[in-house]
Structure 1
Amino acid sequence: MDTLTPQRRAPLNNGPVLRATLPELIARAQALMVPGERRILGITGAPGAGKSTVCAGLADALGAGAVVVGMDGFHLANRELERLGRRQRKGAPDTFDMGGYAALLQHLRAPDGQTIYTPVFDRQLEESIGSAVPVPPQTPLIITEGNYLLLEGGGWERVAAALDEVWFLDLPDELRLPRLLRRHEQFGRSPEEAGRWVDAVDQRNAELIGRTRERADLIVQLIA
Protein backbone atom coordinates (compact mmCIF):
# COMPACT_ATOMS: atom_id res chain seq x y z
CA MET A 1 0.00 0.00 0.00
CA ASP A 2 1.40 3.38 -1.02
CA THR A 3 0.82 5.51 2.06
CA LEU A 4 2.07 8.69 0.39
CA THR A 5 -0.43 8.73 -2.48
CA PRO A 6 -3.37 6.61 -1.28
CA GLN A 7 -5.87 5.40 -3.83
CA ARG A 8 -9.02 3.99 -2.26
CA ARG A 9 -10.43 1.08 -4.26
CA ALA A 10 -13.42 1.91 -6.44
CA PRO A 11 -16.70 1.67 -4.51
CA LEU A 12 -19.23 -0.90 -5.60
CA ASN A 13 -22.39 0.26 -7.36
CA ASN A 14 -25.80 -0.63 -5.93
CA GLY A 15 -24.64 -2.63 -2.96
CA PRO A 16 -23.84 -4.80 -1.30
CA VAL A 17 -26.30 -4.55 1.58
CA LEU A 18 -25.33 -6.38 4.75
CA ARG A 19 -27.65 -7.05 7.68
CA ALA A 20 -25.23 -7.58 10.56
CA THR A 21 -24.89 -7.51 14.32
CA LEU A 22 -22.25 -5.42 16.03
CA PRO A 23 -20.08 -8.53 16.73
CA GLU A 24 -20.16 -9.30 12.99
CA LEU A 25 -19.04 -5.75 12.21
CA ILE A 26 -16.27 -6.08 14.76
CA ALA A 27 -15.05 -9.21 12.97
CA ARG A 28 -15.03 -7.36 9.63
CA ALA A 29 -13.06 -4.49 11.17
CA GLN A 30 -10.56 -6.93 12.67
CA ALA A 31 -10.02 -8.39 9.20
CA LEU A 32 -8.83 -4.96 8.04
CA MET A 33 -6.10 -4.86 10.67
CA VAL A 34 -2.70 -5.90 9.28
CA PRO A 35 0.40 -5.77 11.51
CA GLY A 36 2.84 -3.13 10.32
CA GLU A 37 0.27 -1.37 8.15
CA ARG A 38 -2.17 1.48 8.69
CA ARG A 39 -5.73 1.21 7.41
CA ILE A 40 -8.55 3.76 7.65
CA LEU A 41 -12.18 2.64 7.86
CA GLY A 42 -14.90 5.22 7.25
CA ILE A 43 -18.34 5.04 8.86
CA THR A 44 -20.96 7.32 7.28
CA GLY A 45 -24.72 7.78 7.19
CA ALA A 46 -27.41 10.34 7.94
CA PRO A 47 -27.66 12.16 11.28
CA GLY A 48 -29.02 9.76 13.88
CA ALA A 49 -28.11 6.62 11.92
CA GLY A 50 -25.91 5.33 14.76
CA LYS A 51 -22.41 6.21 13.53
CA SER A 52 -21.05 7.18 16.93
CA THR A 53 -22.62 4.13 18.60
CA VAL A 54 -21.09 1.73 16.08
CA CYS A 55 -17.71 3.43 16.28
CA ALA A 56 -17.72 3.24 20.08
CA GLY A 57 -18.60 -0.45 19.92
CA LEU A 58 -15.79 -1.14 17.46
CA ALA A 59 -13.27 0.83 19.49
CA ASP A 60 -14.22 -0.89 22.76
CA ALA A 61 -13.81 -4.32 21.17
CA LEU A 62 -10.58 -3.58 19.29
CA GLY A 63 -8.85 -1.84 22.19
CA ALA A 64 -5.40 -0.48 21.42
CA GLY A 65 -5.72 -1.74 17.84
CA ALA A 66 -8.04 1.09 16.80
CA VAL A 67 -8.65 4.80 17.39
CA VAL A 68 -11.77 6.76 16.42
CA VAL A 69 -11.21 10.10 14.69
CA GLY A 70 -14.41 12.05 14.01
CA MET A 71 -15.12 14.43 11.15
CA ASP A 72 -17.12 16.49 13.66
CA GLY A 73 -13.85 17.62 15.23
CA PHE A 74 -13.53 19.84 12.15
CA HIS A 75 -16.71 21.85 12.72
CA LEU A 76 -15.94 25.52 12.19
CA ALA A 77 -16.05 27.47 15.45
CA ASN A 78 -19.37 29.10 16.27
CA ARG A 79 -17.93 32.61 16.03
CA GLU A 80 -16.64 31.82 12.53
CA LEU A 81 -20.05 30.45 11.54
CA GLU A 82 -21.63 33.65 12.83
CA ARG A 83 -19.14 35.73 10.82
CA LEU A 84 -20.05 33.72 7.72
CA GLY A 85 -23.77 33.90 8.45
CA ARG A 86 -23.95 30.08 8.63
CA ARG A 87 -24.65 29.43 12.32
CA GLN A 88 -28.20 28.25 11.59
CA ARG A 89 -26.91 25.74 9.03
CA LYS A 90 -24.24 24.23 11.28
CA GLY A 91 -23.64 20.70 10.04
CA ALA A 92 -23.92 21.50 6.32
CA PRO A 93 -20.85 20.57 4.22
CA ASP A 94 -19.53 24.13 4.04
CA THR A 95 -19.56 24.50 7.85
CA PHE A 96 -16.60 22.12 8.23
CA ASP A 97 -12.88 22.59 7.70
CA MET A 98 -12.84 19.98 4.95
CA GLY A 99 -9.26 20.78 3.98
CA GLY A 100 -8.01 20.28 7.51
CA TYR A 101 -9.86 16.98 7.82
CA ALA A 102 -8.55 15.64 4.51
CA ALA A 103 -5.01 16.71 5.41
CA LEU A 104 -5.25 14.92 8.77
CA LEU A 105 -6.43 11.70 7.10
CA GLN A 106 -3.49 11.86 4.69
CA HIS A 107 -1.14 12.39 7.62
CA LEU A 108 -2.67 9.47 9.50
CA ARG A 109 -2.06 7.20 6.51
CA ALA A 110 1.68 7.80 6.74
CA PRO A 111 2.63 7.98 10.45
CA ASP A 112 6.20 9.19 10.90
CA GLY A 113 6.87 7.41 14.17
CA GLN A 114 5.24 10.12 16.26
CA THR A 115 1.90 10.27 18.03
CA ILE A 116 -0.59 12.35 16.05
CA TYR A 117 -3.12 14.36 18.06
CA THR A 118 -6.58 14.87 16.59
CA PRO A 119 -9.57 17.06 17.54
CA VAL A 120 -12.90 16.04 19.01
CA PHE A 121 -16.32 17.74 18.99
CA ASP A 122 -17.87 18.42 22.39
CA ARG A 123 -21.66 18.30 22.02
CA GLN A 124 -22.26 20.09 25.30
CA LEU A 125 -19.98 22.99 24.37
CA GLU A 126 -21.05 22.80 20.71
CA GLU A 127 -17.39 23.42 19.85
CA SER A 128 -14.37 21.43 18.73
CA ILE A 129 -11.44 20.78 21.07
CA GLY A 130 -8.06 20.43 19.39
CA SER A 131 -5.35 17.85 20.14
CA ALA A 132 -7.76 15.78 22.25
CA VAL A 133 -7.38 12.26 20.79
CA PRO A 134 -3.89 10.72 20.52
CA VAL A 135 -3.16 8.28 17.70
CA PRO A 136 0.01 6.27 18.47
CA PRO A 137 2.15 5.41 15.43
CA GLN A 138 1.69 1.66 15.92
CA THR A 139 -2.13 1.79 15.75
CA PRO A 140 -3.12 -0.39 12.77
CA LEU A 141 -6.72 0.83 12.29
CA ILE A 142 -8.16 4.31 12.27
CA ILE A 143 -11.96 4.51 12.33
CA THR A 144 -13.30 7.83 11.11
CA GLU A 145 -16.97 8.74 11.17
CA GLY A 146 -18.84 11.58 9.56
CA ASN A 147 -21.71 12.62 7.35
CA TYR A 148 -19.83 13.56 4.20
CA LEU A 149 -17.15 10.92 3.70
CA LEU A 150 -18.50 10.06 0.24
CA LEU A 151 -19.64 13.51 -0.86
CA GLU A 152 -18.58 14.64 -4.32
CA GLY A 153 -17.76 18.26 -5.02
CA GLY A 154 -16.21 21.02 -2.99
CA GLY A 155 -13.02 19.05 -2.51
CA TRP A 156 -14.66 16.32 -0.43
CA GLU A 157 -13.28 13.73 -2.86
CA ARG A 158 -9.97 14.13 -1.01
CA VAL A 159 -11.59 12.58 2.06
CA ALA A 160 -12.83 9.48 0.22
CA ALA A 161 -9.43 9.06 -1.44
CA ALA A 162 -7.78 8.67 1.97
CA LEU A 163 -10.06 5.82 3.10
CA ASP A 164 -9.52 2.11 2.52
CA GLU A 165 -13.16 1.15 3.03
CA VAL A 166 -16.41 3.02 3.78
CA TRP A 167 -19.54 1.60 5.42
CA PHE A 168 -22.86 3.43 5.05
CA LEU A 169 -25.20 2.89 8.02
CA ASP A 170 -28.73 2.56 6.68
CA LEU A 171 -31.50 3.16 9.24
CA PRO A 172 -35.19 3.76 8.39
CA ASP A 173 -36.46 7.25 9.17
CA GLU A 174 -39.09 5.90 11.55
CA LEU A 175 -36.23 4.73 13.80
CA ARG A 176 -33.65 7.40 12.99
CA LEU A 177 -35.74 10.55 13.50
CA PRO A 178 -36.97 9.80 17.06
CA ARG A 179 -33.40 8.96 18.04
CA LEU A 180 -32.19 12.24 16.54
CA LEU A 181 -34.85 14.27 18.34
CA ARG A 182 -33.94 12.64 21.67
CA ARG A 183 -30.28 13.50 21.11
CA HIS A 184 -31.02 17.17 20.53
CA GLU A 185 -33.19 17.28 23.65
CA GLN A 186 -30.47 15.53 25.66
CA PHE A 187 -28.07 18.35 24.80
CA GLY A 188 -30.38 21.15 25.80
CA ARG A 189 -32.92 21.86 23.09
CA SER A 190 -36.61 21.90 23.91
CA PRO A 191 -38.82 19.42 22.00
CA GLU A 192 -40.03 22.29 19.82
CA GLU A 193 -36.50 23.53 19.12
CA ALA A 194 -35.33 20.00 18.41
CA GLY A 195 -38.15 19.46 15.93
CA ARG A 196 -37.43 22.71 14.11
CA TRP A 197 -33.69 21.93 13.89
CA VAL A 198 -34.30 18.43 12.56
CA ASP A 199 -36.72 19.72 9.92
CA ALA A 200 -34.68 22.73 8.85
CA VAL A 201 -31.12 21.39 9.14
CA ASP A 202 -30.71 17.68 9.79
CA GLN A 203 -33.17 16.49 7.18
CA ARG A 204 -31.71 18.72 4.49
CA ASN A 205 -28.32 17.23 5.29
CA ALA A 206 -29.77 13.71 5.37
CA GLU A 207 -31.12 14.09 1.84
CA LEU A 208 -27.67 15.09 0.61
CA ILE A 209 -25.99 12.24 2.48
CA GLY A 210 -28.53 9.75 1.16
CA ARG A 211 -27.39 10.48 -2.38
CA THR A 212 -23.91 9.19 -1.47
CA ARG A 213 -25.22 5.80 -0.28
CA GLU A 214 -24.39 3.83 -3.42
CA ARG A 215 -20.77 5.00 -3.36
CA ALA A 216 -20.13 3.01 -0.18
CA ASP A 217 -18.20 -0.25 -0.15
CA LEU A 218 -20.80 -1.72 2.19
CA ILE A 219 -24.33 -0.65 3.12
CA VAL A 220 -24.95 -1.81 6.68
CA GLN A 221 -28.33 -2.46 8.24
CA LEU A 222 -27.50 -3.04 11.89
CA ILE A 223 -29.35 -5.81 13.73
CA ALA A 224 -29.74 -5.10 17.44
Structure 2
Amino acid sequence: MTMSFDELLDRAEALVARGGRTILGIVGAPASGKTTLAWSLANALGNRATVVGMDGFHLAQVELRRLGRAERKGAPDTFDAHGYVHLLRRIKTGRETVYAPEFRREIEEPIAGAVPVPPDVPLVITEGNYLLVDEEPWAAVRGLLDQAWFVAPDEHDRIERLVTRHRRYGRSLVEARQRALGSDQRNADLIAPTAARADLVLEHLPLANFAI
Protein backbone atom coordinates (compact mmCIF):
# COMPACT_ATOMS: atom_id res chain seq x y z
CA MET A 1 0.00 0.00 0.00
CA THR A 2 1.17 3.51 -0.79
CA MET A 3 0.12 6.31 1.56
CA SER A 4 1.15 9.93 1.90
CA PHE A 5 2.61 11.27 5.11
CA ASP A 6 -0.58 13.27 5.71
CA GLU A 7 -2.66 10.09 5.48
CA LEU A 8 -0.38 8.34 7.96
CA LEU A 9 -0.51 11.35 10.26
CA ASP A 10 -4.33 11.20 10.15
CA ARG A 11 -4.12 7.59 11.33
CA ALA A 12 -1.80 8.56 14.16
CA GLU A 13 -4.13 11.43 15.10
CA ALA A 14 -6.96 8.90 15.33
CA LEU A 15 -4.93 6.89 17.84
CA VAL A 16 -4.35 10.02 19.92
CA ALA A 17 -8.09 10.75 19.82
CA ARG A 18 -8.92 7.43 21.45
CA GLY A 19 -7.94 8.84 24.81
CA GLY A 20 -5.71 7.18 27.36
CA ARG A 21 -2.38 5.66 26.35
CA THR A 22 -1.94 4.00 22.95
CA ILE A 23 1.15 2.40 21.43
CA LEU A 24 1.91 2.40 17.72
CA GLY A 25 4.57 -0.03 16.53
CA ILE A 26 6.49 0.69 13.33
CA VAL A 27 8.39 -2.32 12.02
CA GLY A 28 10.79 -3.04 9.19
CA ALA A 29 14.19 -4.30 8.16
CA PRO A 30 17.36 -2.24 8.72
CA ALA A 31 17.22 1.08 6.78
CA SER A 32 13.60 0.54 5.76
CA GLY A 33 12.67 4.05 6.90
CA LYS A 34 10.86 3.08 10.10
CA THR A 35 12.86 5.44 12.32
CA THR A 36 12.37 8.34 9.90
CA LEU A 37 8.63 7.70 9.83
CA ALA A 38 8.40 7.38 13.62
CA TRP A 39 10.18 10.66 14.27
CA SER A 40 8.31 12.48 11.50
CA LEU A 41 5.00 11.51 13.11
CA ALA A 42 6.22 12.43 16.59
CA ASN A 43 7.50 15.82 15.43
CA ALA A 44 4.20 16.54 13.71
CA LEU A 45 2.22 15.56 16.83
CA GLY A 46 4.39 17.61 19.20
CA ASN A 47 3.87 16.92 22.90
CA ARG A 48 1.16 14.36 22.12
CA ALA A 49 3.67 11.70 21.05
CA THR A 50 7.11 10.36 21.84
CA VAL A 51 9.38 7.72 20.29
CA VAL A 52 10.85 4.72 22.08
CA GLY A 53 13.22 2.66 19.95
CA MET A 54 13.67 -1.09 20.33
CA ASP A 55 17.37 -0.52 19.60
CA GLY A 56 17.83 0.87 23.10
CA PHE A 57 17.70 -2.75 24.23
CA HIS A 58 20.83 -3.80 22.33
CA LEU A 59 23.08 -5.73 24.68
CA ALA A 60 26.28 -3.86 25.51
CA GLN A 61 29.38 -4.71 23.48
CA VAL A 62 31.09 -6.24 26.49
CA GLU A 63 28.17 -8.62 27.01
CA LEU A 64 27.99 -9.53 23.32
CA ARG A 65 31.67 -10.43 23.43
CA ARG A 66 31.15 -12.52 26.56
CA LEU A 67 28.31 -14.40 24.85
CA GLY A 68 30.26 -14.80 21.60
CA ARG A 69 27.63 -12.86 19.65
CA ALA A 70 29.48 -9.65 18.80
CA GLU A 71 29.74 -10.55 15.11
CA ARG A 72 25.97 -11.10 14.96
CA LYS A 73 25.00 -7.79 16.57
CA GLY A 74 21.48 -6.95 15.46
CA ALA A 75 20.18 -10.53 15.51
CA PRO A 76 17.18 -11.22 17.78
CA ASP A 77 19.27 -12.82 20.53
CA THR A 78 21.56 -9.77 20.79
CA PHE A 79 18.80 -7.72 22.47
CA ASP A 80 17.30 -7.73 25.95
CA ALA A 81 13.90 -8.69 24.56
CA HIS A 82 12.42 -9.46 28.00
CA GLY A 83 13.45 -5.99 29.14
CA TYR A 84 11.80 -4.41 26.09
CA VAL A 85 8.52 -6.26 26.72
CA HIS A 86 8.59 -5.23 30.37
CA LEU A 87 9.15 -1.59 29.42
CA LEU A 88 6.22 -1.65 26.98
CA ARG A 89 3.98 -3.05 29.71
CA ARG A 90 4.94 -0.17 32.01
CA ILE A 91 4.38 2.31 29.18
CA LYS A 92 0.99 0.78 28.41
CA THR A 93 -0.35 1.52 31.89
CA GLY A 94 0.61 5.21 31.59
CA ARG A 95 0.62 5.69 35.37
CA GLU A 96 4.14 7.04 35.81
CA THR A 97 7.06 8.55 33.96
CA VAL A 98 9.01 5.71 32.37
CA TYR A 99 12.63 6.16 31.34
CA ALA A 100 13.60 4.18 28.25
CA PRO A 101 17.11 3.50 26.96
CA GLU A 102 18.40 4.91 23.69
CA PHE A 103 20.91 3.40 21.25
CA ARG A 104 23.72 5.73 20.19
CA ARG A 105 25.17 4.70 16.83
CA GLU A 106 28.22 6.91 17.22
CA ILE A 107 29.41 4.73 20.12
CA GLU A 108 27.50 1.53 19.20
CA GLU A 109 26.11 1.30 22.73
CA PRO A 110 22.75 1.75 24.50
CA ILE A 111 22.37 4.57 27.05
CA ALA A 112 20.05 3.84 29.98
CA GLY A 113 17.38 6.32 31.08
CA ALA A 114 17.80 8.58 28.06
CA VAL A 115 14.15 8.83 26.88
CA PRO A 116 11.47 10.04 29.33
CA VAL A 117 7.89 8.94 28.65
CA PRO A 118 5.61 11.10 30.85
CA PRO A 119 2.18 9.70 31.77
CA ASP A 120 0.35 12.55 30.01
CA VAL A 121 1.71 11.65 26.53
CA PRO A 122 -1.19 9.87 24.78
CA LEU A 123 0.73 8.18 21.95
CA VAL A 124 3.99 6.27 22.25
CA ILE A 125 5.56 5.25 18.94
CA THR A 126 7.94 2.33 19.25
CA GLU A 127 10.01 1.24 16.29
CA GLY A 128 12.31 -1.66 15.55
CA ASN A 129 12.97 -4.84 13.63
CA TYR A 130 11.41 -7.59 15.69
CA LEU A 131 8.12 -6.21 17.01
CA LEU A 132 6.10 -8.78 15.05
CA VAL A 133 8.28 -11.86 15.50
CA ASP A 134 6.06 -14.73 16.67
CA GLU A 135 8.63 -16.37 18.94
CA GLU A 136 9.18 -15.86 22.65
CA PRO A 137 9.93 -13.45 24.16
CA TRP A 138 9.25 -11.20 21.14
CA ALA A 139 5.77 -12.68 20.63
CA ALA A 140 4.47 -10.71 23.62
CA VAL A 141 5.12 -7.38 21.88
CA ARG A 142 2.25 -7.62 19.37
CA GLY A 143 -0.39 -7.80 22.09
CA LEU A 144 0.90 -4.55 23.58
CA LEU A 145 0.58 -2.59 20.33
CA ASP A 146 -2.70 -0.87 19.47
CA GLN A 147 -1.57 -0.80 15.85
CA ALA A 148 1.44 -2.14 13.96
CA TRP A 149 2.69 -0.74 10.64
CA PHE A 150 5.23 -2.62 8.55
CA VAL A 151 7.53 -0.60 6.28
CA ALA A 152 8.56 -2.57 3.18
CA PRO A 153 10.39 -0.34 0.66
CA ASP A 154 12.12 -1.37 -2.54
CA GLU A 155 14.94 -3.71 -1.52
CA HIS A 156 17.57 -2.08 -3.72
CA ASP A 157 16.84 1.33 -2.21
CA ARG A 158 16.86 -0.07 1.33
CA ILE A 159 20.23 -1.79 0.89
CA GLU A 160 21.80 1.33 -0.62
CA ARG A 161 20.59 3.39 2.35
CA LEU A 162 22.01 0.76 4.68
CA VAL A 163 25.41 0.83 2.97
CA THR A 164 25.42 4.64 3.24
CA ARG A 165 24.61 4.40 6.94
CA HIS A 166 27.44 1.96 7.61
CA ARG A 167 29.91 4.20 5.76
CA ARG A 168 28.73 7.20 7.75
CA TYR A 169 29.82 5.42 10.92
CA GLY A 170 33.31 4.60 9.70
CA ARG A 171 33.14 1.42 7.61
CA SER A 172 34.81 1.22 4.21
CA LEU A 173 32.64 0.61 1.16
CA VAL A 174 33.66 -3.07 1.10
CA GLU A 175 32.96 -3.49 4.82
CA ALA A 176 29.64 -1.66 4.51
CA ARG A 177 28.44 -3.90 1.68
CA GLN A 178 29.61 -7.05 3.46
CA ARG A 179 27.63 -6.07 6.55
CA ALA A 180 24.54 -5.00 4.57
CA LEU A 181 24.46 -8.17 2.47
CA GLY A 182 25.63 -10.47 5.27
CA SER A 183 24.29 -10.38 8.83
CA ASP A 184 21.95 -7.44 8.11
CA GLN A 185 20.36 -9.31 5.21
CA ARG A 186 19.89 -12.46 7.30
CA ASN A 187 18.00 -10.35 9.82
CA ALA A 188 15.96 -8.71 7.05
CA ASP A 189 14.98 -12.15 5.73
CA LEU A 190 13.78 -13.09 9.21
CA ILE A 191 11.72 -9.91 9.53
CA ALA A 192 10.01 -10.00 6.11
CA PRO A 193 7.41 -12.73 6.87
CA THR A 194 6.29 -10.91 10.02
CA ALA A 195 4.52 -8.33 7.82
CA ALA A 196 1.55 -10.69 7.89
CA ARG A 197 0.93 -9.69 11.53
CA ALA A 198 0.79 -5.95 10.77
CA ASP A 199 -2.33 -3.80 10.46
CA LEU A 200 -0.79 -1.86 7.59
CA VAL A 201 2.01 -2.66 5.14
CA LEU A 202 3.65 0.38 3.55
CA GLU A 203 5.51 -0.40 0.34
CA HIS A 204 6.36 3.13 -0.75
CA LEU A 205 7.31 5.89 1.64
CA PRO A 206 8.23 9.35 0.29
CA LEU A 207 11.05 9.61 2.83
CA ALA A 208 12.52 12.73 1.26
CA ASN A 209 9.31 14.59 2.12
CA PHE A 210 9.25 13.58 5.78
CA ALA A 211 10.24 16.21 8.31
CA ILE A 212 12.71 14.99 10.94
TM-score, length-normalised on structure 2? 0.94
Q: How large is the RMSD of aligned CA atoms in angstroms?
A: 1.0
Correspondent of 2:26 among 8, 18, 43 = 43
Tell me how many residue pairs correspond in the alignment. 206
On the 8 A contact 1:55/1:68 being kept in 2, the answer is: yes
Mapped to 2, the partners of 1:49 and 1:214 lie a distance apart of 17
1:212 match: secondary structure: helix
**Match status 1:27 vs 2:32:** no
On the 8 A contact 2:154/2:203 being kept in 1, the answer is: no
Letter in 2 for 1:184: H
On the 8 A contact 1:117/1:131 being kept in 2, the answer is: yes
TM-score, length-normalised on structure 1? 0.89
Correspondent of 1:168 among 147, 150, 154 = 150
Distance 1:208 1:107, change over 3 A: same
Calculate percent identity across the aligned residue pairs: 51
- Determine the structure 1 residue equivalent to 2:63: 80
Correspondent of 1:147 among 129, 133, 141 = 129
Shift of 1:36: 4.1
Mapped to 1, the partners of 2:144 and 2:120 lie a distance apart of 18
Letter in 1 for 2:65: E
- Determine the structure 1 residue equivalent to 2:189: 207
Shift of 1:208: 0.2
Correspondent of 1:120 among 78, 102, 125 = 102
2:131 match: secondary structure: coil
**Match status 1:178 vs 2:160:** yes
**Match status 1:217 vs 2:204:** no
Higher helix residue share: 2
Correspondent of 1:101 among 74, 84, 90 = 84
2:142 match: secondary structure: helix
On the 8 A contact 1:39/1:140 being kept in 2, the answer is: yes
Letter in 2 for 1:97: D
Mapped to 1, the partners of 2:43 and 2:2 lie a distance apart of 21
Give the gaps of 5 or more residues in structure 2. Answer: 207-212
Distance 1:37 1:166, change over 3 A: same
Runs of 4+ in 1 over 2 A off after TM superposition: none
